């Protein structure tokens, strides 16, 4: 499978995701944001980091970069797109996903391991996980507090577009197990066609036993399935 990782000034998870993809034999290309051409890719990853120093709003400037026009076109054609952390913020700012990521309710940057529960595995991104499986992943963000209007929330819930929610080790989903104030503990969302996923936790940081667990690895295996 071919993948492309988009790189902006301020991206800092681009190498991590490339290592995870290459470990699974993806043929990966790193694509600088000024490029106007995107190589044919089965998967496009918009990685985490602090593109443009989070100026204006997180992801707002990156969403207007040259390459994003191509990413938008590819997304509309049905290519698989994964936005992680700042990548999720960029996908929202460019309109591929709806909603907004507000500042964490506790006003603090949060960098820690959290738990998420798989809500749905009938999609290209989570099919190697079991429904209700609990994963331990890392989050590292200041603006991860997902918010949207009632109409969009209903659309997400009615169409199985919320694949992951924050929980505790036992899988309890409630305000106490919500790290950042995200609406209904939402940790990630799909677009209508489920070919575009935005998520705040970092699966690429949990893809090698030498530095973590491997709870993120099945996500990449799912994409190959």
Pairing of strands 134-141, 145-147: unpaired
Is 85 an active-site residue?
A: yes
**Cα 66 to the center of its chain, rounded Å:** 21
Q: How far is the CB of 220 from other proteins (least distance, A)?
A: 31
Considering the rule CB under 8 A, would residue 184 count as an interface residue with other proteins?
no
- For 49, the 3-state DSSP assignment is strand
Q: Which stretch binds other proteins (CB under 8 A): 31-39, 97-105, 117-125, 184-192?
A: 97-105
Query: What one-character DSSP code corresponds to residue 23?
Result: H
Supply 206's token pair: 């949990």
Nearer to other proteins, 124 or 152 (CB): 152
Cα maximum dimension of the chain: 46
Helix (H) or strand (E) holding 54: none
**Cα 192 to the center of its chain, rounded Å:** 16
Considering the rule CB under 8 A, would residue 107 count as an interface residue with other proteins?
yes
Considering the rule CB under 8 A, would residue 221 count as an interface residue with other proteins?
no
Nearer to other proteins, 10 or 181 (CB): 181
Considering the rule CB under 8 A, would residue 99 count as an interface residue with other proteins?
yes
Cross-strand bridge partners of residue 199 = 84, 188
Site size toward other proteins (CB under 8 A) is: 17
Choice among 13, 85, 94, 167 that is catalytic: 85
Nearer to other proteins, 69 or 132 (CB): 69
Is 155 an active-site residue?
A: no
Q: What whole-number distance in Å separates Cα of residue 198 and Cα of residue 21?
A: 17
Active site residues: 85, 202, 204
The contact set with other proteins (CB under 8 A) reads 56-57, 60, 64, 93, 98-100, 102-103, 105-107, 147-149, 181
């Amino acid at each position: 499978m071919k993948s492309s990782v988009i790189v902006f000034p301020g991206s800092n998870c681009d190498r991590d995701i490339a290592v995870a993809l290459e470990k699974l034999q993806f043929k990966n290309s790193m694509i600088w944001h000024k490029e106007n051409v995107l190589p044919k890719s089965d998967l496009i990853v918009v990685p985490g980091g602090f593109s443009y120093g989070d100026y204006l709003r997180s992801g707002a400037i990156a969403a207007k970069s040259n390459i994003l026009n191509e990413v938008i076109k590819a997304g509309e054609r049905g290519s698989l797109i994964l936005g992680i952390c700042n990548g999720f913020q960029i996908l929202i700012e460019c309109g591929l996903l709806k909603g907004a990521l507000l500042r964490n309710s506790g006003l603090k940057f949060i960098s820690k391991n959290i738990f998420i529960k798989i809500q749905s595995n009938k999609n290209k991104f989570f099919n190697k996980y079991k429904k209700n499986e609990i994963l331990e992943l890392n989050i590292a963000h200041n603006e991860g507090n997902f918010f949207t209007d009632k109409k969009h929330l209903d659309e997400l819930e009615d169409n199985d577009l919320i694949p992951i929610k924050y929980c505790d080790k036992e899988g309890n989903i409630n305000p106490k197990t919500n790290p950042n104030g995200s609406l209904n503990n939402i940790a990630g969302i799909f677009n209508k066609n489920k070919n575009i996923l935005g998520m705040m936790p970092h699966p690429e940081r949990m893809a090698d036993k030498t530095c973590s667990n491997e709870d993120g690895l099945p996500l990449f295996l799912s994409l190959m399935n």
